[in-house]
Amino acid sequence: MTMNAYVKTERTEGASYKKAPLPKPGEGEALLKVISAAICGTDLHVYQWNEWARKNVRQIPMIMGHEFVGTVVEAVKGGFLKAGDVVSGETHIACGRCYQCRNGTRHICANLALPGVHRDGAFAEFMAYPEASLVKLPESIPVEYGALMEPFGVAVSAVENADVAGGNVVVIGSGPIGLGIVCAARAMGASRVIALDVLDYRLSLAAKCGATRTLNVSGISPADFVLSETQGVGADAIFDASGSSAAISGAFKYLRKGGSAHLVGLPSNPTPIDLASDVIFKEATIYGYHGRKMFRTWTRMINLLESGKVNFDPIISHRMPLAQSEKAFELLLKGEDASKILLTP
Ligand SMILES: [Zn+2]
Ligand SMILES: [Zn+2]
């Protein structure tokens, strides 16, 4: 019994579309038929086999992918899901035993396991997944949006914490998570959302997601622009989804006194911040985010989508068959006009 899957087969760059054994659900796991799966930056790292991937990937061969929507085909006996339910997956599979798990912060479990990094993932026809990490989606939400809930959850988690209603915010980086932050900030009542990027294509998507101003920051600092847009006061909140150390350090120059910085992007090197002038005298607050609160963020996301205030259509740039995974990865790695690519098995 085999299925088609996109598999990391070697500890080197690349992956292969090939036959893989049908997954057998373990205890507490449901068997899902994958409807659609999205490619994330993490998958690019695993594909490229960079330093992070070499350190973190535990098993080879491994089916890649972690952002998905699927249908339950084999439910857990006595579980809360039934065959036919459409589900999305919380990708932080928590141990349930560590300090964080037992103190209300399961999303930062000390022993996190992620599909497509630590165990078989979603770029396949079928997938076995812990029921406790699945979220049933209402019929009112477009099915393919289910594949984008995981990255959008990071955005919602940050925006919800930032108290943006009526405020002026800056979003650094207009990739899929930055776009999610723009969508969420507008839906939660931010007055001004200034989106920054170095690619005009991405800025055009940010405008479609509701950014009130966009700025291409190639070779320039956005500080003067942000200050002039905010009557010289600076932004109430900045969100970084770029992972650029220079952009993050620079953002503290246009964060207002008493403002907050919300960091989601992953810089590959230590980021210099002038603590005295940019944090202490400013009374700035810095937050980091890793994942979504279980399951408060998911409930909020579903409510936002059901209200119609958030639309993922501008974020989805391509829909491709799983058999064309190789082409999809090449497209993203070349940095061509692409945002979120959905793969359909
Ligand atoms: Zn992801
Ligand atoms: Zn834990």
Measured distance CA(67)–CA(39) in Å, rounded: 7
Structural contact between residues 64 and 6, judged by C-beta atoms closer than 8 angstroms: yes
Strand ranges (DSSP E) for 132-219? 134-136, 168-172, 192-197, 213-216
- Ion ligand 2 nearby residues (CB, 5 A): 94-95, 98, 101, 109
C-alpha of 18 from chain center: 27
Q: Examine the pLDDT at 200 and tell me if it is beyond 90.
A: yes
Q: How far is the CA of 291 from the centre of ligand 2 (A)?
A: 14
Query: Which amino acid makes up residue 140?
Result: S
pLDDT at 336: 77
Residue 268 has pLDDT above 90, yes or no: no
Q: How confident is the model over 327-341, as pLDDT tens digits?
A: 999 999 998 799 999
DSSP state of 270: -
pLDDT for the residue numbered 64? 98
Do 311 and 182 touch, CB atoms closer than 8 A? no
By the 8 A CB rule, do 226 and 220 touch? no
**Mean pLDDT throughout 291-313?**
96
Q: Which ligand is nearest to the CA of 176?
A: 1
| pLDDT, mean of residues 212-221 | 96
Judged on CB neighbours under 10 Å (0-12, 13-18, 19+), 232 is exposed
Could you give the CA distance from residue 340 to residue 243 in angstroms, rounded to a whole number? 18
Statement: residue 266 has pLDDT above 80: yes
Mean local confidence (pLDDT), 233-255: 97
User: How much is the mean pLDDT over the chain?
Assistant: 97
How large a percentage of the chain has pLDDT more than 90?
A: 99
| Local structure of 175: helix, strand or coil | coil
Domain 155-288 fold = Rossmann fold (3.40.50)
- Beta strands in the chain, from DSSP E residues, in sequence order: 2-8, 16-21, 29-38, 62-63, 67-74, 86-89, 126-130, 134-136, 168-172, 192-197, 213-216, 235-240, 255-263, 285-288, 316-321, 340-344
pLDDT tens-digit map of 137-180: 999 999 999 999 999 999 999 999 999 999 999 999 999 999 99
Token digits of residue 168: 């002026």
Residue 309 burial (CB count, 10 A) = 15
Asked if pLDDT for residue 126 goes beyond 90, the answer is yes
Residue 265: predicted pLDDT: 96
**In 234-295, alpha helices (H):** 245-251
- Alpha-carbon distance of 263 to 286, in angstroms, equals 8
Q: Catalytic residues, which ones? A: 42, 45
Q: Is residue 100 packed enough to be buried (19+ CB in 10 Å), middle (13-18) or exposed (0-12)?
A: middle
- Which pLDDT band, with edges at 50, 70 and 90, does 86 fall under? very high
Domain edges within the chain: 2-142+312-344, 155-288
pLDDT of 335 reads 81
What is the average per-residue pLDDT within 67-88? 98
**What are the angstrom distances between the C-alpha of 113 and each of 20, 51, 53?**
21, 18, 14
Angstrom distance (rounded) from CA 162 to CA 103: 22
Cα(343) to ligand 1 centroid in Å equals 14
pLDDT at position 214: 98
Q: How close is the Cα of 82 to the center of ligand 1, in Å?
A: 26
Rounded distance from Cα 206 to ligand 1 centre (Å): 19
Confidence grade of residue 48 (pLDDT, cut at 50, 70, 90): very high
Q: What gap in Å lies between CA 273 and CA 17, rounded to an integer?
A: 44
What are the pLDDT digits (tens) for 6-23?
999 999 999 999 999 999
> What average pLDDT does the segment 124-143 reach?
98
Ligand 1: centre distance to CA 39 (Å): 7
Q: How confident is the model at residue 75 (pLDDT cuts 50, 70, 90)?
A: very high
Q: Would you state the pLDDT for residue 66?
A: 98
Topology of the domain covering 2-142+312-344: Quinone Oxidoreductase; Chain A, domain 1 (3.90.180)
